[in-house]
Amino acid sequence: MTAHIQPVHASSLKIVKPSSARKESITDHDFSGLYSIESRENAIRNAAKKWFGPVEMLDPKARTSERARQEAILHSLFRLHRLSCNLVPEAQRLPVTEQDVFSAILVLNRISISVKCPAAAITGYCESRSVREENPRLNQLDPLQLRHLLSFHQDIPHEELNSLDIHTLRSACERNATEEIHTWFETVAKRKHALPIGAPQFLRQLMTDIWNAGNHDFIETFVTELAVLDSAMFDELGWENSRLFLAIFKRLQGSSCRPISVYIDAEEIDAAIEMYTRLADNDQVIHFRALATTFEANALRRLERTIIAASKERGTRIGITRLSPLEQKKAVAYVTSADIPTLFAAKSAQMAG
pLDDT reported for residue 64: 86
Handedness of CA 327, 332, 333, 336 (dihedral sign): negative
Q: Give the gyration radius of the chain's Cα atoms.
A: 25
Q: Specify which residues 161 forms β-bridges with.
A: 158
pLDDT reported for residue 136: 86
pLDDT reported for residue 159: 86
pLDDT reported for residue 134: 84
pLDDT reported for residue 175: 97
Q: What are phi and psi of 229, to 5 degrees?
A: -65, -45
pLDDT reported for residue 314: 57
DSSP 263: G
Q: Do residues 234 and 113 lie in contact, with contact meaning Cβ atoms separated by under 8 Å?
A: no
Cα→Cα distances 148→134, 144, 156, 205, 347, Å: 15, 9, 16, 8, 68
pLDDT reported for residue 11: 40
- The burial class, CB within 10 Å (0-12 / 13-18 / 19+), for 237 is middle
Written as one letter, the residue type at 348 is: S
DSSP 259: G
pLDDT reported for residue 340: 55
pLDDT reported for residue 189: 93
Run means of pLDDT, 10 residues per run, the chain, 353 residues: 40 46 48 70 94 82 85 94 92 93 94 81 91 90 97 88 95 97 95 92 97 96 97 94 97 96 97 97 98 96 95 57 41 49 58 56
pLDDT reported for residue 111: 87
pLDDT reported for residue 200: 96
Cα→Cα distances 352→339, 342, 346, 347, 348, Å: 20, 15, 10, 9, 6
